[in-house]
Amino acid sequence: MLELYQTNRKQAQEYRESLVSQLNQLTDPQDLPSIQDNNPQPFYLEFKKKLALFVQNETDLLQEELQQSENSHLLLLKRTALVDAVVQTGFARAVWMCNRGRTEPWGSHDFPVAVIARGGYGREEMYFHSDVDMQIVVRTGATEEEKERGYQLINFFDYLLVYQDIFPTAASTGHSEIDTESLDLKENEVASFHSLLEHRMVAGNPLVYREFTSSIKTASLIHKDKIIRHCLQYKHYFEVPNTVFRQEPNLKEELRRLYWALSLVRIQEGYHEINQFELLVELYNTGKLSTTAFKNMKKALNFVSRMRLFLHCHQKGSHRDVLSYEVREVIAESMGYAGKVREFFQEYFFNAVLPMKRFSRNLFWDGITPSTEKARRLSPDFALNSESQIVLQEGREDVTWDSPLPILELFVWVSRKNYFLSYPVVRAIERHADQMLPMFQSGADQVQIQQLFHAILRGKHFARALRYLHEFRLLESFFIPEFKNLSGLLQDIYVHLFPTDIHVLAALDALNRLDIDPEADPFLTGLYHSLKDKSTMRLSVLLHDIGKGLKTEGENEELVGSRAVPRILENLGFGKNQKMIRDIAFLVEKHLMMRDLMMLDPDDDTTYEMIWDLVEKNVERLKMLILLTYADRAGTKMKMTQTQIDQLKYFYQFTLQFKKRESVPIPVKQEFLKMIRLPRDLQSQLQIYDQFKKSRDGFATELFYKPEHPAELVVCTRDQQGLLYKIAAVLAFNHLSIIEANVHTLDDNVFDIFKVVSATGDPVDFSNFFFIQKQVIDDLRRVFVGNLDIASLYRGRALNSSHQVSKYNDIKLKVSIIGRTVKVETHDILGTMMMETRVFSDLNMKIDRAVIHTTLENASNVFYVRPEDVRKIIQEEDKFKTQLKNALLPLIKIKPIFPNEPAEVA
């Protein structure tokens, strides 16, 4: 491997020399604009123009080479060589500018200046959009004349290179003088100094660089403890909750795990190499890394580096290192996984970043001396130190176990006492994990294993213990084999931050916080503590998504998971507890229902009737369903807001109380209305309804302006087919989005209130409001009074812009039936409500009420329809979904919703 890297360096050096030669010719001052009247601006601009074009052409060639090569080390060296060549050319031209008018020109050695690469640039690990970090050093011992000459050079260099956009990212410099006498290093300066330890001369005076190197070496020896403490601050990269399993991982962050491990060992033990590829070889050759660790870390570094290079080909800016959903298929294909995104992520997770984290962690923790002060003995093999870490007993460092029981018992202590596992214990577990297979266990051991799991589940810190079990693959090996299918399983990117297994663990963390976090929500905490059986609750969260890893195409994951519950609980030793089995199977099957029910009308008693019927009038199930809903959401991007938690609280209270309500007689209502003064909004609505009752046309409407809030549209008319569709169409074609709808029907009279915003999601601008108000009212009057059909009114008009539709390749659609409601989830695109209600109208289905929700560019609209319409949808669900999808498709195309000419029938 060292020979390969030496060959790479030779090629990179030849490439650098070739580039310097080309750039010297390209930027010959004789071919650049002359500097007249002391105005160098034309010279700078032409210099920048030539360099920028050259850099772009060479970058294109390197990106083409990337497509054919898997040698990340060489590509990073070449990219660095390109930056070096540009910096050296800029420095040479700065020297030339200093020499203008001189009869005896200065050489670069006549300036007390050196340009030094630092950080990633110093390590020669430059990606296509890496920042170019340099330190320009001036020798302190230089004479005032030499210093003045040096600062003049630096000024020209800054204008030629640093202040120009030569590279597609930032070029930053720091200016300093070498001071070998003052070597003080304050705590807030350690991070900056640390990057100077990864230094390399690029241009300038070698004597200045030599002094700089000596100064840095002296300071690093004096402040070695401070620098090591700085490295130790990054130990969180190696903790179990800091997972590598993310659906949109930041590759720079993943590479930092390796970086801080290598930095620590290099500083502690004085290793020479700073390039990470070559430092791994040095560590291996000196016996610091085993063959297995070296091969895994080298492979992972090369794989992730290549991915990051490809990412920089497709992304810019602050998110350039994030493997986002929008580019992951392209990156997978570039890495040789065309059409195999799932396989690509499995390779990334299990053969790249996970081994890199584990072996980097081992290297990092090898450099830390744990506390050896024993607090107390836990077992013949384990003790507790003063830092609440479980450590190996003295003399048991090389212990081997034939049974898994001593190791599994560790996690009972973690769960009960919140102890941590020390690094030697982690290493011991990993050494034995593969040898402790369930197939070699006796029946007696199996019973004890089940008892240990019960103890872990009952512990106050159960979530941490379960994370440890999953980290070491013990959860799937000894307890729930089905959990293996969830590992690294990708989910809906719009909702989930993590793959399925880590989402489940995050949900368990959220549930556990209700028991241990004094700042947790009081209502949820009280609900959790009131449960009669917390083990059922915890198992429900652990198993709520188990069906995702078991289902086949076309199967319902909730039903599949529910059916698997009896088998899983039998294996865990709960087979005789039939009540637990029934409750967990119910919760797994219905765990999404409460989220759906929260979208219904909170003022309608039928909502609470549906909830009460759903939980089969069982208060314990209601509590657990609410807590499961909260925990499930907490493990996603869409964590519950305090308002949503309050909504859960109200749903819980109203569900228990709604049957106690009594209807109020009409005379009492009339007397009550005489006693109070209606709020201004209700007064306005009442006046519109009064206009409607007096109107010969049977129609009245008004659009009200609300400063910094959604505008409010009130429509009163006679009930008719497709009424909601017509209103939604008028609003959509006037570029207004409905964010809330309240539909009220009494006999033949309809009173509808809509809260609307502009198509961008912002409140309607006052300067444009009166134009929109007139247009909306006129259009509604044409439709409801003039009986003009929607297609005729808006024929030939497109709805969405190219920018809006470019985000979507296809329609995402999910339809759920909740009692007598139909919930439709899809993209939040202008016109969504119009097209959805159009389908109901075309199928002659009456919408009695609609509840609208929009979050993170997703629309979840709930429509209350007649029982017979619900039955019709259930009977022809596939046909209904197809019709909805076909109706929504025109919204993601730049075409008229209602073409000028009818389409020909084939």
In the structure, what pLDDT confidence band is assigned to residue 100 with cuts at 50, 70 and 90? confident
Query: Rounded CA gap, 870 and 834, in Å?
Result: 20
What is the residue whose two structure tokens read 């570029």? 735
Mean pLDDT over 19-29 rounds to 94
Q: With 90 as the cut, is the pLDDT of residue 72 above it? A: yes
Residue 793 neighbours by CB under 8 Å, 6+ apart: 733, 779, 782, 783
Q: What is the pLDDT of residue 866?
A: 86
Which range has the worst mean pLDDT, 6-20, 178-192, 295-309?
178-192
In the structure, what pLDDT confidence band is assigned to residue 686 with cuts at 50, 70 and 90? confident
Mean pLDDT over 689-696 rounds to 89
- Mutual angle of helices 500-516 and 522-529, in 10-degree steps: 90
Query: Rounded CA gap, 813 and 882, in Å?
Result: 10
Q: Concatenate the DSSP letters of all residues of 84-119 into one string.
A: HHHHHHHHHHHHHHHTTT-SSPPPGGGSSEEEEE-H
Beta-carbon neighbour count of residue 779 at 10 Å?
Answer: 22
Mean pLDDT over 367-381 rounds to 74
Query: Rounded CA gap, 843 and 834, in Å?
Result: 14
Q: What is the pLDDT of residue 734?
A: 92
Which range has the worst mean pLDDT, 176-185, 491-500, 518-527, 719-728?
176-185
Q: What is the pLDDT of residue 458?
A: 96
Q: With 80 as the cut, is the pLDDT of residue 672 above it? A: no
Query: Rounded CA gap, 841 and 833, in Å?
Result: 12
Mean pLDDT over 876-891 rounds to 88
Mean pLDDT over 50-68 rounds to 94
Task: Tell me what percent of the residues of the chain surpass a pLDDT of 70.
Answer: 93
Mean pLDDT over 339-364 rounds to 92
Over the stretch 191-226, which tens digit does the pLDDT of each residue have? Answer: 888 899 999 999 999 999 999 999 999 888 988 989
- Alpha carbon 729 to chain centroid, angstroms: 35
Query: Rounded CA gap, 418 and 517, in Å?
Result: 13
Which range has the worst mean pLDDT, 263-267, 283-287, 720-724?
720-724
Query: Rounded CA gap, 280 and 292, in Å?
Result: 12
CB 360 within 8 A of CB 261: yes
What is the residue whose two structure tokens read 């320009």? 136
Strand order in the sheet with 382-385: 374-377, 382-385, 389-392, 420-421
Pairing of strands 736-746, 749-758: antiparallel
Q: With 80 as the cut, is the pLDDT of residue 432 above it? A: no
State the burial class of residue 131 (Cβ atoms within 10 Å of its Cβ: 0-12, 13-18, 19+): middle
Mean pLDDT over 34-50 rounds to 86
Q: With 50 as the cut, is the pLDDT of residue 180 above it? A: no
Q: With 80 as the cut, is the pLDDT of residue 756 above it? A: yes
Over the stretch 715-738, which tens digit does the pLDDT of each residue have? Answer: 999 988 888 899 999 999 999 988
Mean pLDDT over 2-17 rounds to 92
Percent composition of the chain: helix, strand, coil (DSSP 3-state, to 5): 60, 10, 30
Beta-carbon neighbour count of residue 420 at 10 Å?
Answer: 18
Q: What is the pLDDT of residue 208?
A: 93
The whole-chain average pLDDT of the chain stands at: 87
Mean pLDDT over 815-832 rounds to 84
SS3 per residue for 389-420:
EEEECCCCCCCCCCCCHHHHHHHHHHHHHCCE
In the structure, what pLDDT confidence band is assigned to residue 390 with cuts at 50, 70 and 90? confident
Query: Rounded CA gap, 221 and 268, in Å?
Result: 10
Q: What is the pLDDT of residue 370?
A: 60
* Structure tokens given for 662: 């009594």
Q: What is the pLDDT of residue 7?
A: 94
What distance, in Å, lies between the first and last C-alpha atoms of the chain?
65
Mean pLDDT over 287-292 rounds to 89
Over the stretch 107-137, which tens digit does the pLDDT of each residue have? Answer: 888 899 999 999 999 999 999 999 999 999 9
Mean pLDDT over 415-431 rounds to 87
CB 78 within 8 A of CB 93: no
Q: What is the pLDDT of residue 516?
A: 94
What residue ranges define each of the domains in the chain, with the CATH number in brackets?
Answer: 1-228 (3.30.460.10), 237-367 (1.20.120), 378-478 (1.10.110), 480-661 (no CATH), 681-893 (3.30.70.260)
Number of Cα atoms under 13 Å in the Cβ half of residue 114: 22
Task: Tell me what percent of the residues of the chain surpass a pLDDT of 90.
Answer: 47
Over the stretch 502-554, which tens digit does the pLDDT of each residue have? Answer: 999 999 999 999 999 999 999 999 999 999 999 999 999 999 999 999 999 88
State the DSSP code for 844: T
Query: Rounded CA gap, 187 and 76, in Å?
Result: 32
Q: With 80 as the cut, is the pLDDT of residue 659 above it? A: no
Q: What is the pLDDT of residue 900?
A: 65
Mean pLDDT over 361-369 rounds to 81
Q: With 70 as the cut, is the pLDDT of residue 372 above it? A: no
Query: Rounded CA gap, 512 and 515, in Å?
Result: 5
Q: Which position has the higher pLDDT, 892 or 473?
A: 473
